[in-house]
Amino acid sequence: MKKLEAVIQPFKLEEVKEALKGIGVDGMTVTEVRGHGRQKGHTEVYRGQEYKVDLLAKIKVEIIIPTERLEEVIDTLMKAARTGKIGDGKIFVYDVVDAIRIRNGDRGPSAI
């Protein structure tokens, strides 16, 4: 099993969700996060006081998938989240040791 952690533009969330649903990825966890990569931040001014804001609002999507679907899911996710401009975000891939369904104790890929 693999875990995909995708940090994406907030306004792309709906598209990503629909695209993943379209290929049968049903479960996901979404968090509002702040961060930055190569994208530059912006400046805010409050009564003349300037603040450089380099941590920008992003959405983090976490999904767990069977290893054999990895490339397909990455492909779908990329297509849905991409605008082609700097700031589109990144996808990180991790190995998952196990998964357990709390309700009935199912383990492994069948618990995803």
Interacting residues toward other proteins by CB under 8 A: 44-49, 51
Do the beta carbons of residue 6 and residue 91 sit within 8 Å?
yes
Minimum CB separation from other proteins for residue 60, in Å?
18
The single-letter DSSP state of residue 68 is: G
Specify the residue, 48 or 105, whose C-beta has the smaller distance to other proteins.
48
For residue 62, what are its two tokens? 């976490």
Cα(99)–Cα(10) distance, integer angstroms? 28
Specify the residue, 50 or 71, whose C-beta has the smaller distance to other proteins.
50
Minimum CB separation from other proteins for residue 96, in Å?
28
